[in-house]
Amino acid sequence: MNIAVFASHGGSDLQAIIDGCKSGKVNSKVKLVISNNSNSMALQRAENEGILGYHISQKVIPDNGKLDNKILSILDENEIDMIFLAGYLKMLGTSVLQKYSNRIFNIHPALLPKYGGKGMYGMNVHKAVIEAREKISGVTIHRVNEKYDSGEIVAQAEVPVMPNDTPEELAARVLEREHSFLIEVVNDIISGNIKLGE
C-alpha cells in the first residue's frame, strides 16, 4: 500500500510510520509527505528519508481550487491508497475529501467524541482533559470528513492520566502511544479489518 502523510509540524507520527515500514513491521511505503508549513520538521524528515516532500499552502497557491487540484494530482500520480493526517492543521478541500473518501484518517490525541472539534489541538486538548479530571485519555484514529474530528472512529487506545500530570507530561505519554498504535492501525487497514473506501 502507498501511504501519504500530511503534517504541519514535528512529524514524529510520520516518523513512526516511516520506521514501521522500513523495519518491515508494516508492509507499506510512505510515498510522500505534504505540509502546509515550509519549515516543518515533517518536510525535513521526508528529505532525510529520501521521500517526496511537498510544501503546499496558500502562500504558494493562493487559489483554493487550484490548491486542491494540485493535492489531487500528486495523490493520483503516486497511486496513494491511504492518507494519514498526522498533526495537519488545515482542513482538506471538498474535492480531495470526496475523491479519497474513507481513505483519509486523522490521529487525534484524546478519546473522541470528547475533547475534539475546532480549537481542540495541541496542548489545548491535554489541558482540557486534565481540567475535567479524567483518569483516562488516549488516541483516536478516525475517518476525515468536512467537520473537525467528527468522522467515523475506526480505532482507539487508552492512555492513563496520572495524578498531578502536567499537560506536557500527558501529551508526551499520549504521543508515545500514538507511535505504536499507528503501526497497529495501518496493519489493520492492510489486513482489511479496517475497510478502505472504493
- Nearer to ligand GRF by Cβ, of 10 and 93: the residue is 10
Round to whole Å and give the CA distance between 105 and 144: 6
| Residues touching ligand GRF, count (CB under 6 A) | 14
C-alpha cell at 135: 483518569
Round to whole Å and give the CA distance between 190 and 50: 23
Q: Is 37 in the site for ligand GRF (CB under 6 A)?
A: no
Residues 167-186: x where in contact with ligand GRF by CB under 6 A, - otherwise, as a string: --------x--x--------
Round to whole Å and give the CA distance between 30 and 15: 10
Residues 14-33: x where in contact with ligand GRF by CB under 6 A, - otherwise, as a string: x-------------------
Catalytic center residues: 108
- Nearer to ligand GRF by Cβ, of 3 and 66: the residue is 3
Burial class (CB in 10 A: 0-12, 13-18, 19+), 195: exposed
Round to whole Å and give the CA distance between 114 and 8: 23
Q: How many CA atoms lie within 13 A of 132 on its CB side?
A: 13
- Nearer to ligand GRF by Cβ, of 11 and 53: the residue is 11
DSSP state of 134: -
Within residues 67-106, the interface with ligand GRF by CB under 6 A covers 86-87
- Nearer to ligand GRF by Cβ, of 17 and 56: the residue is 17
Q: Is 107 in the site for ligand GRF (CB under 6 A)?
A: yes
C-alpha cell at 148: 473537525
Binding segment for ligand GRF among 3-11, 29-37, 68-76, 145-153 (CB under 6 A)? Answer: 3-11
- Interface residues with ligand GRF (CB under 6 A) are 7, 9-14, 86-87, 107-109, 175, 178
